[in-house]
Amino acid sequence: MQDIEKFKKDIQQRQSSFELCESLSARAMYDFMPMDCSVAFGHVCFNDSNVEKKIAVRPNFNPLACWIPSSITNSSGRVSFEIKLPANLTRYRVCALATNDKQYGLGEMSFTVQIPIMIQPSPPRFLNYATNAKLLTSQTNQQAVGYSIVLQPSKRAALIFPLSTIHSGTARFQFIISTVKNETCTQFGDAMELSLPVFTPATSEAFATYGDICEEEIVLQPIETPKNVIPQFGELSITTSSTALASLTDAIISLYTYPYECTEQLSSRLLGIQALWDVLQAFHCKDLPEVSVLKTKLESDLNTLKGRQYSNGGFGYWTNRNDCYAAPYMSVHVAHCLAVLVNKKVFNVNKNMLNNSLKYLENIESEINQLSYTKYWSNLTRFSLISYALYVRAKHLQYVADEASQLLQLSGFDKLSLEALGWLLIALSTDKNNNKDHIIEIICKHLKGKVSETSETANFITSYGDDGQSVMLHSNQRTDAILLEALLYIDPNSTLCTKLSKGLQAHKVKGAWGSTQENCFALIALDKYFHMKEKDTPDFVADI
């Protein structure tokens, strides 16, 4: 690499009799793609005898010049490398670590890369649509002579270019600076190119109006067209639906498009989509494929789950390898998925897969005890898993009320999470002789003491602790969904059900909840809620 200081001294000696070069051509060109805009600044013309030298654009701005993991010195204890530096005009730090069998040493140095005339833009990180901005560029003169305009000896100066965006996309800029070539002044120059994203305007805003027309023959809903809509991006989209279930399709889309496919996510996708299968058939969603394509995808997911089942009926997160063990929560969750599939009768569930899964649930306590790491689990987590297993068995139409009652007596309320109480309520509801009504009443009274209510909404706040968060995949919204479903089994006319439903829907972000667990349990609970509240088949016409 050329010694910059020596180079600068040579320039000074050659130009000691020269007072000042006549002119500097400072050119900056930029264009927006795909925008139809091109502007040139300060282009100074020269005589035909002064042909401009081509200036190479500096393209590579990698901050790491090189990384050499190891090398062996020669007999003199030296090692050398030939390195092509990036195009950064900056200060580099060089670190070297030398070792032998008994010693080591560390050495450091630094050097600065410069060129006689440098251009250094200071762009923003991004631009927004239909905004004005100023682009600052800094020109540095490393020589001992000055140029016209503003570049003084060994100084820098800034040029500001105003700009405005008229489209979204990518804005590309090119900057070029060069000096005059004559008998006493060597020509120097620099050029570089960069690009910036130009973002689209703010995201869309959606809102919904709900109500019923049981008492009225005609309902008018005025809609005012939004003002200051940008033609390239703005849109007013109006949809109508005869059921509030249609508002849950965004959660289905979230499950369908989820990119990862561990056992929990596949099961949650099957659970959530199956819960609203009737709605998907009645209302076509433009962001989902046809029902036949959707069914093929879910059948593939079901076959994948079948391949992950262990001989004991449990399931692993990703596999059923012999050197791994079935995960208790995954196993119960898949069994829950199979219960919904069997009840909906849309897919054919393999009998061996189903029977082995139910066998695992019946032996859930012993299966948990066989795992070495479960000794670190709290009783809260352990009893919650057993409660979930009883809930799933109840969904498979098994009588588990006595086992649920025994678990409640064994644990007490202190060692049962709110989710576990919700699962036990559904398990206790399998008693057709109403022998468990007293226990159900006690649980409901306990739950009402744990709820946080407003005039419109209600929600439960609870936690398992660290082990429960990782084992049970707990969240507050999932707890609300589980307890909403449980209360719909026990007391569907309770105002708490309505408040829980509103509170649950209020936590949606862009139409969906925060995880696959929240989405599938919320869809199950709200599907049951709306089917109870919307008993009558709609018969009306909506005109826009």
Q: What is the pLDDT of residues 184-223, one digit of tens each?
A: 777 778 888 888 899 887 666 666 665 656 656 677 878 8
Q: Report, as an integer, the average pLDDT of 259-280.
A: 91
Q: Report, as an integer, the average pLDDT of 111-123.
A: 83
For the ranges 60-69, 78-87, 237-246, 260-269, the lowest mean pLDDT is seen at 237-246
Spell out a b/e string for 51-87, using b for 16 or more CB atoms within 10 Å of the CB, else e: eeeebeebeeeeeeeeeeeeeeeeeeeeeeeeeeebe
Question: Where is pLDDT greater, at 322 or 342?
Answer: 342
Q: Report, as an integer, the average pLDDT of 440-450.
A: 92
pLDDT in tens, 481-514: 999 999 999 999 889 999 999 999 999 988 899 9
Question: Where is pLDDT greater, at 493 or 543?
Answer: 493
Distance CA 224, CA 541 (A): 21
Instruction: Evaluate if residue 424 carries a pLDDT over 60.
Output: yes
Q: Where are the alpha helices (DSSP H) in 171-248?
A: none
Instruction: Evaluate if residue 445 carries a pLDDT over 90.
Output: yes
| 304 CB-near residues (< 8 Å, 6+ apart) | 261, 266
Structure tokens, 62: 């990698």
pLDDT of residue 334: 97
The residue ranges of every structural domain in the chain are 23-44+55-61+86-199, 244-533
Instruction: Evaluate if residue 34 carries a pLDDT over 70.
Output: no
Q: Report, as an integer, the average pLDDT of 281-307.
A: 87
pLDDT of residue 443: 95
Question: Where is pLDDT greater, at 309 or 463?
Answer: 309
Residue closest to 309 by CA, chosen among 345, 251, 259, 267: 267
Q: For tokens 């067209």, what's the residue?
A: 225
Helices first, then strands: H and E counts in the chain: 16, 13
Instruction: Evaluate if residue 178 carries a pLDDT over 70.
Output: yes
Q: Report, as an integer, the average pLDDT of 268-277.
A: 92
Instruction: Evaluate if residue 280 carries a pLDDT over 90.
Output: no
pLDDT of residue 114: 83
pLDDT of residue 24: 31
The dihedral through the CA atoms of 345, 346, 348, 353 has a sign that is negative
Instruction: Evaluate if residue 535 carries a pLDDT over 50.
Output: yes
Instruction: Evaluate if residue 258 carries a pLDDT over 80.
Output: yes
For the ranges 37-51, 87-101, 438-452, the lowest mean pLDDT is seen at 37-51
User: Given 3.30.70.260, 1.10.287.3510, 3.30.1360.120, 1.50.10.20, which CATH number is that of 244-533?
Assistant: 1.50.10.20
pLDDT of residue 41: 36
DSSP secondary structure string for all residues of 117-142? EEEEEE--S-EETT-EEEEEEEEEE-
pLDDT of residue 25: 33
- CATH class belonging to 23-44+55-61+86-199: mainly beta
pLDDT of residue 213: 63
The answer to whether the CB of 191 falls within 8 A of the CB of 175 is yes
Instruction: Evaluate if residue 45 carries a pLDDT over 60.
Output: no
CB-based burial label for 225 (10 Å; 0-12, 13-18, 19+): exposed
Q: Report, as an integer, the average pLDDT of 321-348.
A: 90
Q: Report, as an integer, the average pLDDT of 152-179.
A: 83
pLDDT of residue 49: 40
User: Among residues of the chain, what percentage have pLDDT more than 70?
Assistant: 82
pLDDT of residue 15: 40
Distance CA 422, CA 400 (A): 14
pLDDT of residue 202: 67
Domains 23-44+55-61+86-199 and 244-533 are alike in CATH topology:
no
Strand partners, 178: 25, 189
pLDDT band at 125 (very low <50, low <70, confident <90, very high): confident
Backbone angles phi, psi at 236, to 5 degrees: -115, 115
Give the chain's mean pLDDT.
Answer: 81
Type and span of the H or E element at 408: helix 401-411
